[in-house]
Amino acid sequence: MKAFDIQEYITAGAEKIVADAVRATLRSPKEAAFMASFAASSAAAARTRRRREAEGMHVPTFLIASITSACNLHCEGCYSRSNHATEDTVPVRQLTAADWGRIFDEARDLGISFILLAGGEPLLRRSVIEAAGERRGILFPIFTNGTYLDEKYFDLFEKCRNLVPVISLEGGEEETDRRRGAGVYDRIDAAMDEFRRRNLLFGASVTVTTENLAAVTDPTFIARLTERGCRAVFFVEYVPVTDETLALAPGDEERETLTRAVEDLRGQLDEAIFLQFPGDEKASDGCLAAGRGFFHINSHGGAEPCPFSPYSDVSVKDRPLADALSSPLFAKLRDGGLLEGEHEGGCTLFARRADVAAILQ
């Protein structure tokens, strides 16, 4: 039997995402032209990663960048607030726009193709978003709550097609407002109308819990998104932040139901792509965090295995991004077996958070 090759798995997956996105945007000449150009950039980045792999450095395809820890919402069960990684006010020590520009350039030179911008609420950092837009060879999905979308942002998205807003919602109005606050869904709804009017590519990020699983996989809900122009749906399985919220996390049965629903959507709707995180980790031989498939930079520059595992032993504020990939913490997680094997719940590192903390001690 052929040995599992994590680099091949991730590269093939990324190339499929790009190929599917090109097909999904053919109805929009501007989007199709950009995605075709990006496909070439992505292929060049894959060659760079393969070259570095041969030289002994494994570079993942994805980087998650939390460009701010400030947020205007207080979503029920938010993992980031529970970890004290998100707050109401803008932090004093957060990385500057120039810092992020350097990190984006270093990521490009390493061969990273996708940088997911997160927060807090990333649209609070307009200067960083503008810096990302200038790096046309990288695709930047921007995971936003949608409440700061304004005319200037829509104009920027028209100009910089590598910026792809991914709007967070929990289903329809009832589910979204219950978790995110009254009136949030109406603002998201209006934003989706504007995306459709301008013929702009956007995505949706749906947090899947035991309470909304049926609603968010209902064909009517998905059809409403795609009819508005949504071309990518990220189904993100809820990660519990306390023992009291464990009941919201999908179990094996719910994850299997979600997986079947995603597979059905992929077969029925070819105008959009559907992604499930973390999904079945067995398919990727375990968790992809700590640089196996992606890693995370927090708003202060700390290199972390992933946003759900806020532990760091290297800061990229004054050190090259490449140093994060050789972080002792990352190496011990990858080599020590903590990213592999069976565990309770959908998130390996959350289930083994005590072991992760012990490595740092």
For the chain, give the secondary structure using H, E and C: CCCCCHHHHHHHHHHHHHHHHHHHCCCCHHHHHHHHHHHHHHHHHHHHHHHHHHCCCCCCCEEEEECCCECCCCCCCCHHHHCCCCECCCCCCCCCHHHHHHHHHHHHHHCCCEEEEECCCHHHCHHHHHHHHCCCCCEEEEEECCCCCCHHHHHHHHHCCCEEEEEEECCCHHHHHHHHCCCHHHHHHHHHHHHHHHCCCEEEEEEECCCCHHHHCCHHHHHHHHHCCEEEEEEEECCCCCHHHHHHCCCHHHHHHHHHHHHHHHHHCCCCEEEEECCCHHHHCCCCCCCCCEEEECCCCEEECECCECCCCCECCCCCHHHHHCCHHHHHHHHCCCCCCCCCCCCHHHHCHHHHHHHHC
pLDDT at 34 over 90: no
State the first-to-last Cα distance of the chain, in angstroms, to the nearest integer.
39
Kindly indicate the confidence band of residue 353, based on its pLDDT and cuts at 50, 70 and 90.
confident
* Cα four-point dihedral sign 236, 266, 169, 216: negative
Kindly indicate the confidence band of residue 38, based on its pLDDT and cuts at 50, 70 and 90.
confident
pLDDT of residue 20: 66
Give the model confidence (pLDDT) of 326-338 as tens digits.
999 999 988 887 8
pLDDT at 344 over 70: no
pLDDT of residue 26: 60
pLDDT of residue 75: 86
Give the model confidence (pLDDT) of 172-216 as tens digits.
999 999 999 999 999 999 999 999 999 888 999 999 999 999 999
pLDDT, averaged across the chain: 86
Weakest-pLDDT range from 5-14, 193-202, 336-345: 5-14
Kindly indicate the confidence band of residue 165, based on its pLDDT and cuts at 50, 70 and 90.
very high
Three-point CA angle 291, 294, 295, nearest 5°: 70
Is residue 11 within 8 A of residue 46, CB to CB? The reply is: yes
Own/partner pairs for 140-143, CB < 8 Å, 24+ apart? 140/114, 140/115, 140/116, 140/164, 141/114, 141/116, 141/117, 141/165, 141/166, 141/203, 141/232, 142/117, 142/166, 143/116, 143/117, 143/118, 143/119, 143/168, 143/205
Instruction: Compute the distance between CA of residue 24 and CA of residue 185 in angstroms, rounded to an integer.
Output: 25
Question: Where exactly are the structural domains of the chain?
Answer: 6-360
Give the model confidence (pLDDT) of 222-257 as tens digits.
999 998 889 889 999 887 767 777 888 888 899 899
Kindly indicate the confidence band of residue 302, based on its pLDDT and cuts at 50, 70 and 90.
very high
Considering the domain 6-360, what is its CATH architecture?
A: Alpha-Beta Barrel (3.20)
Mean pLDDT over 38-59 rounds to 92
Mean pLDDT over 8-25 rounds to 62
Kindly indicate the confidence band of residue 23, based on its pLDDT and cuts at 50, 70 and 90.
low
Kindly indicate the confidence band of residue 5, based on its pLDDT and cuts at 50, 70 and 90.
low
Widest pairwise Cα distance in the chain: 55
Is residue 248 within 8 A of residue 209, CB to CB? The reply is: yes
What tokens does 216 get? 């968010």
pLDDT of residue 145: 96
pLDDT at 71 over 60: yes
Mean pLDDT over 337-341 rounds to 76
CA 163 vs CA 47, 64, 136: distances in Å: 23, 14, 9
Instruction: Compute the distance between CA of residue 127 and CA of residue 132 in angstroms, rounded to an integer.
Output: 9
Weakest-pLDDT range from 92-101, 187-196, 348-357: 348-357
> Of the candidates 265, 267, 254, which has an alpha carbon nearest to the alpha carbon of residue 345?
254
